[in-house]
Structure 1
Amino acid sequence: MAVTTTDLIMGPADLYIGSFGATEPIDTAINSAPAASAWTDLGGTQDGVKLSVDQTYTALEVDQVVDEVGGRLTKRLFTVETNLAQPTLENLKFLLNDGTAASGAGFKSFEPIYASSATQPTYRAVILDGYAPGQLRRRFIIRRCLSNDKVESSYKKDGMTLFTVKWQGFYVSPSIAPFKLIDATS
């Protein structure tokens, strides 16, 4: 296979977060930022944004054949992870899947959710806007997700304070795919 240099991709991605069920940008708007009324720009990132889709296929076996005769998809785990370079209380609320924010003269505060673990978490949707082959745009939409990994932040004299985050996607419905990829073609 010959190398097609225009298919090589390099460059940063932008991250947006919205409510679960937020109106998604139409496919033809791939070169435009998502509507600010439905999507919040999470700001700068550091060390890139990683998209991961981990699929597990369970083997089909029969006594009459020594080889596995096929496989069926039995599990899929898809995530987006990054380090947010803007460790604001607003971003922390998204990373901890909601909470209570307050502000007043000269202060802002945040308290995490502390209700029973039996309550439904606040699901969100995430958009990753990056590059596709040909230096065109690619959009990855996770339609229902939670921040479900350890959120860390460190303060160092010789490094930036960051928020680590990993959003895991979840099933939506029988008629709605859990994620979608859109590439611009011109």
Structure 2
Amino acid sequence: MAVTPDNLIQGPATLYRGNFGAAEPADSAINSTPAASAWSDIGGTTDGVKLVIENTYGELEVDQIVDRVGSRLTKRNTSVETNMAEVTLDNLAYSLNGGTTASGASFKSYEPNDDSSATQPAYSAVLFDGIAPQSFRRRVIVRKVLSTDSIEVAYTKDKQTVLKVKLQAHYVSPAVKTYKIVDASS
């Protein structure tokens, strides 16, 4: 197989957050910035933005054959992971699935939600734009996410403070897939 150097990609992505159900940019608008009315740029990130798709397969076997006869997809975990370099209260609230921010003449504050475990969480959506093969743009839209991991905000002498976040994708509906990837082609 010959290598096509233009298919190799490297570079950062720009991460946006939106409400669950936010209007998605048209596929034909791949080279445009998402509408500010629906999508907010979360700012700088460190160590990239990762789309992680973990498939689990159940094994099919029969007594008469020693090899695996087949496999069936039994579970899929899709997530977006990044370190938010801009440790704002808005990004903290996003990484904690909501809460209340307030501001005054000389302050801004954050308080977490105190909802019960029976309360429906505040799902959101994420979109990120990066590089695709041939130096075109690739857009990844994950339509229903929830921050699922612990959040740490470490203040250390010799390291940058970041918000490490893992946004776990969730099922939307039979008609709306969990995620979509669009590559520009010209």
1:119-163 deviation per Cα after TM superposition (whole angstroms, max 9, x unaligned): 110000000111100111001111001011111111123322111
What is the aligned partner in structure 2 of residue 16 from structure 1?
A: 16
In the comparison of the two structures, how many residue pairs are matched?
A: 186
Report matched runs for 1:92-131 at 5 Å.
92-131=92-131
Asked if residue 155 in structure 1 is aligned to residue 155 in structure 2, the reply is yes
What is the aligned partner in structure 2 of residue 3 from structure 1?
A: 3
What is the aligned partner in structure 1 of residue 80 from structure 2?
A: 80
TM-score by length of 2: 0.97
Aligned counterparts of 2:47 and 2:70: Cα–Cα separation in 1: 39
Task: State the Cα distance separating 1:63 from its structure 2 match.
Answer: 2.9
Aligned counterparts of 1:11 and 1:65: Cα–Cα separation in 2: 47
Task: State the Cα distance separating 1:68 from its structure 2 match.
Answer: 2.2
Where does structure 1 differ by over 4 angstroms across 4 or more consecutive aligned residues?
Answer: none
What is the aligned partner in structure 1 of residue 31 from structure 2?
A: 31
Task: State the Cα distance separating 1:16 from its structure 2 match.
Answer: 0.3
What is the aligned partner in structure 2 of residue 61 from structure 1?
A: 61
What is the aligned partner in structure 2 of residue 176 from structure 1?
A: 176
SS in 2 for 1:145: strand
What is the aligned partner in structure 2 of residue 133 from structure 1?
A: 133
Aligned counterparts of 1:65 and 1:163: Cα–Cα separation in 2: 50
Aligned counterparts of 1:118 and 1:90: Cα–Cα separation in 2: 25
Unaligned stretches of 5+ in structure 2? none
SS in 2 for 1:51: strand
Task: State the Cα distance separating 1:39 from its structure 2 match.
Answer: 0.5
Aligned counterparts of 1:103 and 1:117: Cα–Cα separation in 2: 28
User: How much identity, in percent, do the aligned residues show?
Assistant: 60
What is the letter of the counterpart of residue 168 of structure 2?
Answer: Q
What is the letter of the counterpart of residue 171 of structure 1?
Answer: Y
Task: State the Cα distance separating 1:67 from its structure 2 match.
Answer: 2.5
C-alpha RMSD over aligned residues: 1.0
Unaligned stretches of 5+ in structure 1? none
SS in 2 for 1:142: strand
Task: State the Cα distance separating 1:69 from its structure 2 match.
Answer: 2.0
1:15-73 deviation per Cα after TM superposition (whole angstroms, max 9, x unaligned): 00000000001001111111000011000001111111000111122233332221111
Once the two structures are overlaid, the 10-residue window that deviates more, 67-76 or 163-172, is 67-76
